[in-house]
Amino acid sequence: MITVDRPTRTRSVASKQLFATVLQRQGAAVVLVLVVAVSWLTFPNFGTVDNLRDLALQSSFLAVIALGMTFVIITGGIDLSVGSVYALGGVLAAYGSQWGFFGALLLPLVACGLIGLINGFLVAKTGMAPFIVTLATLLFARGLLLAISHEGSTTYKIAADSAFLTLGRGTFLGIGYPVYIAAILFVVGGIVLRRTAFGDTVFATGGAENSALLMGLPVARTKMAVYTMSGVLAGFAGALTAAYLESGVTVIGVGTELDAISVVVIGGTLLTGGAGSVLGTVVGVLLRDVIQNIINQIGTLDSNYQAVVSGGFLLAVVVVQRVLARNRERR
C-alpha cells in the first residue's frame, strides 16, 4: 500500500512517508514505553506492584468504552453519547441489582444497547451526521439518568452480599476482574476487527463508503452494529464501575466521551475513518492514565497539567495524521 507502483517518487519521500506512518501508528506506543521507562527509574513508587495494579484497574473502565469508540471512529463516525450512557449503565446496574446478578447485568446492557441501536439506525438510515445524532442521545441518556435517580438525589446501592459486586471488586492473582474483562474484550475486538468479514466492512465503510456500497457491502447494517456495540460496551463499563463503586453513582461520565475519543485518536486511529487498531486504543488509554499517575507522583505539579499534556499530545497526533493524509493525497 505504501510504495511499489510509484516509480517516480524519490526514495526520500518514500522514507518520509514511511516514517510518518510509523509515527502515527506507533508513536503513542513509543512514547508510552519511554514515559514508563523514565518514570520507573525516576519515581521509586511508580514501579511498585500496588501502583501498577491500581493503574491497570483504573484504565480498564475507560478502555471498555474506548473499544466501542474505536470501531465507531474507524467507520468514520463519532459517538458522543458514551459518557452519558456509561453513567446510565451504572445507575441501571445498581437499580437492577435488586433482581440479582443477571438483573444488574442485563438491564444496563439492553437499555444502553437500545440507545446505541437508535444512534446506529439514525446514522445509517437517515444519513444524519453522527455528531448531532449522538449529541441528542447524550442529552437523552443524561436526562433519563436524572429522572430515575430523582435529579441525582437517589443513589441506588448494590447490596453488600450481591454476587454482582464480585465483577468489579473481585481479584485474581491480585489483579482486579475488570482488568481481565477488558483484556478479553480487547482480544475479541481485535480478532473481530482484523480477522472477520465484519471487520473488513468496518474498515471499508470508513475508508471509502461509496466504494464499499458499490461493492455491495452491508454498510448500513455495519454502522448500526458498531453504534449498538458502542452503546452496549459503554453500558457494560458503567455496570462494571457500579460493581466497583458498590453503587450507581450519578456524577460519573461527564466528559468521558471526549476522553474516549482522545485516547482512540492518540492510539493512532484516524479520526476520518478507515484506519486504526484496538491495540493502539489500549496504548492510548494507558498513556493517559500513566501521565495522570506521574503528575501525582511529582506531587508539586498542578493536576491541571494532566489536561495540558493530554491536549498537547492529542494536537501533535492530529497534526501528524493531517500531514500523512496530505502526503497520501499528493501521491
What are the distances in angstroms from CA 79 to CA 104, 108, 308? Answer: 24, 18, 24
Grid coordinates given for 269: 486511529
- Cα torsion 29, 309, 20, 189: sign: positive
Report the residue number, 157 or 320, with the smaller CB distance to other proteins.
Answer: 157
CA terminus-to-terminus distance, the chain: 12
Nearer to other proteins, 159 or 191 (CB): 159
- Of residues 20 and 91, the one with the C-beta less far from other proteins: 91
Contact 244, 168 (CB under 8 A): yes
Q: C-beta of 87: minimal distance to other proteins in Å?
A: 10
Least distance CB 72 / other proteins (angstroms) = 22
Q: How far is the CB of 153 from other proteins (least distance, A)?
A: 4
Provide, rounded to whole angstroms, the least separation between the CB of residue 173 and other proteins.
Answer: 17
**242 Ramachandran zone, left/alpha/beta (phi>0; psi -120 to 50):** alpha
Per-residue burial over 53-90, b = 16 or more CB atoms within 10 Å of its CB, e = otherwise: bebbbbbbbbbbbbbbbbbbbbbbbbbbbbbbbbbbbb
Closest separation between CB of residue 53 and other proteins, Å?
9
- 60 in Cβ contact with 304 (< 8 Å): no
The footprint of other proteins (CB under 8 A) covers: 45, 48, 50-51, 54-55, 58, 61-62, 146, 149-153, 155, 157, 169, 241, 244-247, 249-252, 254, 289, 292-293, 296-297, 299, 302-304, 306-307
- Closest separation between CB of residue 100 and other proteins, Å? 21
Q: Considering beta carbons, is residue 170 or 218 the nearer one to other proteins?
A: 170
- Pick 1 or 251: Cβ nearer other proteins: 251
Of the candidates 251, 257, 293, the one whose C-alpha atom is nearest the C-alpha of residue 72 is 257
CB atoms within 10 A of CB 13: 15
Residue whose CB is less far from other proteins, 26 or 98:
98
